[in-house]
Chain A
Amino acid sequence: MTGLAVGDELPPLTLRVTRADLVRYAGASGDFNPIHWSDRVAGGVGLPGVIAHGMLTMALAGRIVTDWAGPAAVRSYGVRFTRPVVVPDDDDGASVEVSGKVAGLAEAGGETIAKVAITATFEGRGVLGKAVAEVAVPAE
């Protein structure tokens, strides 16, 4: 990672979310809100269908930095949930495209921190706003 510069792009990812993933995430997270598993309830509150948990979308998008620098390197990570990821009841699920770009580099506490601006899109439109992770860059 030597020679890392502002504007560098991280390897992009395409991630798939199925209804089965939502069931697993509900159990793992403890978030059993029925908008994440019931079409009836989701439709009843005006959603276009069952939607992915925001925290699942955040976790998936975060893989762009953990794949790159490892899970122990992340110092902070924040997102705004701007649009839901609608997950159809089929085998393919929803496809989310994730990209990331180095937006800043700073020295802090004896390490180099890269500020990575993350973009996540579903059906061509962004689902996260102000998604930024601060990641410690390994010395080598």
Chain B
Amino acid sequence: MCLDPAAARAAGHPDVIAPPTFSTTFVMTAIEAFLHDPDFGWDYAHMVHGDQAIELHRPIHGGDELVTVIHVEDLRTRAGSHMLTLRCETTDVAGEPVVTTRAMLVTQAEEGA
């Protein structure tokens, strides 16, 4: 279903179906670029991934053309740690929702900040 277009079509899908966490492959690149922006001042070396949610409005198919916009949904500092929640909205080119993901990332806040 994920690799064989004929099998996916036989099951009624337009093309191969992406696995549920596949959006990582195009969302992560954008998140990485954002986290490495020196103006943002994120301590990348000490970052851990706190939690992750994926809401699939429809399956992603082979041949899809998709657009992803990253939103800073929440940023808070507690007990010496920054907690950043990024919401990534992926739509098709007509603007119809395809997948919404939320990544909560944690890193240490600056010494003495």
A binds B: yes
A residues adjacent to B (C-beta < 8 A): 28-33, 41, 45, 54-55, 58-59, 62, 65-66, 70-72, 74-81, 129-130, 133
Would B49 and A77 count as touching, CB distance under 8 A? no
With A71-B2, A71-B59 known as contacts, the answer to whether A62 contacts B52 (CB < 8 A) is no
Q: For residue A78, which residues in chain B have a CB less than 8 angstroms away from its CB?
A: 51-54
Would A55 and B44 count as touching, CB distance under 8 A? no
Q: Could you tell me the distance between the alpha carbons of A75 and B24 in the complex, rounded to whole angstroms?
A: 16
User: Separation in Å of the B86 CB from the closest CB of chain A?
Assistant: 13
B residues adjacent to A (C-beta < 8 A): 1-2, 11, 13, 17-21, 24-25, 28-29, 32, 44-56, 59
Q: Could you tell me the distance between the alpha carbons of A80 and B32 in the complex, rounded to whole angstroms?
A: 20
Would B20 and A81 count as touching, CB distance under 8 A? no
The prevalent SS among residues of A at the interface is: mixed
Would B24 and A29 count as touching, CB distance under 8 A? yes
Closest chain A residue to B16 by CB distance? Answer: A71
Q: Could you tell me the distance between the alpha carbons of A139 and B54 in the complex, rounded to whole angstroms?
A: 24
Interchain CB contact (< 8 A) of A77 among B20, B28, B32: B20
User: Separation in Å of the A31 CB from the closest CB of chain B?
Assistant: 5
Would B52 and A30 count as touching, CB distance under 8 A? no
With A31-B28, A55-B21, A62-B21 known as contacts, the answer to whether A75 contacts B47 (CB < 8 A) is no
